[in-house]
Amino acid sequence: MLPNPFLPKHFCAAPLLFISAVWFSACGGGNPMSPPPPPNPVPAISSVTPSSVTAGASATTVTVNGSGFIQSSTVQWNQSSRATTFISSTELQITLTATDLAIAGTAQVAVVNTAPGGGTSSPAAFTINNPTPQVSGISPSTVTTAGGGSTVTVTGSGFVSTSSVTWNGTARATTYVSAAQLQFTLQASDVAAGGSAQVSVSNPAPGGGAASPTQITIVYPLPIINSLNPPAVAAGGPALTLTINGTGFAPTSVVQYNGVARATSYVNSTTVPLENLEISERMGVIFPS
């Protein structure tokens, strides 16, 4: 080094050393000036597609439309979290099982976003409708006036556990056998007289409805004579009233005497009096039928 003429002889020049300082975050590597992540939005549902199905449907994919959806959004079905597919910030999907859709009613669908922020949307309704029943047949389709207490089987489709058989528009106690079969019991008053009746099936709301009615025929049974009173009289005696006892008698029953129809009075299904009967044949025998 050349001597500096401007310095004293005894001054020793030394090289200068520059030291720069580096500051590190006490928290270990982060930038203390970075802002915190924004909070997750509160989700909102605008619609659910489909919004209803018929009870008994197979597994169904449901699309939830709305806003504020994120990758971690979860769809809830009646407050139970379901596996959720994120499509976009406005669309999510879940798959409902056949068990979810087995029974009619209304379910609640909601979307949950995790913290920070986040929250739960207002629920949207999802309706599971009862089917409209159909009647294809009844067995027996013909009953007698003595058929009170008999079981009638109704076959068809769309029957549910809450289906009700109606008899001329009046609901009857109904036994659910399957989605294709119901049973009910005839009351004595149902078959007190001959004629016909209308049998139908009704399903309650939601959905539901009534089936087109099917006719059941009520006939009088074959009459049976058990006894006559009196059982025998002398020929040529005064006119008398012959009481015929048995079963299956009807208001329209007619007594025949030796094959000839006679004016007949109806008392009940077990008694018919034959009035003003004259026994003219000696040792005559009466064969009413």
Tell me, what CATH number does 142's domain have? 2.60.40.10
| pLDDT tens figures, 38-50 | 999 999 999 999 9
Name the residue range of residue 54's domain: 44-129
Q: How many domains does the chain have?
A: 3
Strand partners, 176: 182
Distance CA 202, CA 131 (A): 10
Distance CA 28, CA 100 (A): 51
For residue 191, which phi and psi values (nearest 5 degrees)?
A: -120, 30
**Over 50: is that where the pLDDT of 137 sits?**
yes
| pLDDT tens figures, 84-102 | 999 999 999 999 999 999 9
Indicate whether this model's pTM tops 0.85: no
**What number of CA atoms fall less than 13 Å from residue 269's CA on the CB side?**
15
Looking at 71, 94, 129, the residue that finishes a domain is 129
Q: According to the model, what pLDDT value does residue 77 have?
A: 98
- Closest residue by Cα to residue 96 from 108, 112, 88, 87: 108
How large is the average pLDDT for residues 203-230? 94
Residues 199 and 265 in one domain: no
Cβ of 150: how many Cβ atoms within 10 Å? 15
Looking at 129, 155, 182, the residue that finishes a domain is 129
**Cβ-based burial of 7 (10 A; exposed 0-12, middle 13-18, buried ≥19):** exposed
**What number of CA atoms fall less than 13 Å from residue 225's CA on the CB side?**
17
Looking at 104, 129, 154, the residue that finishes a domain is 129
Residues 138 and 124 in one domain: no
Q: Tell me the two tokens of residue 229.
A: 């009173």
Q: According to the model, what pLDDT value does residue 8 have?
A: 55
Distance CA 112, CA 75 (A): 6
Q: According to the model, what pLDDT value does residue 13 have?
A: 52
Residues 186 and 112 in one domain: no
User: Is the CA virtual torsion 141, 183, 165, 188 positive or negative?
Assistant: positive
Distance CA 258, CA 110 (A): 84
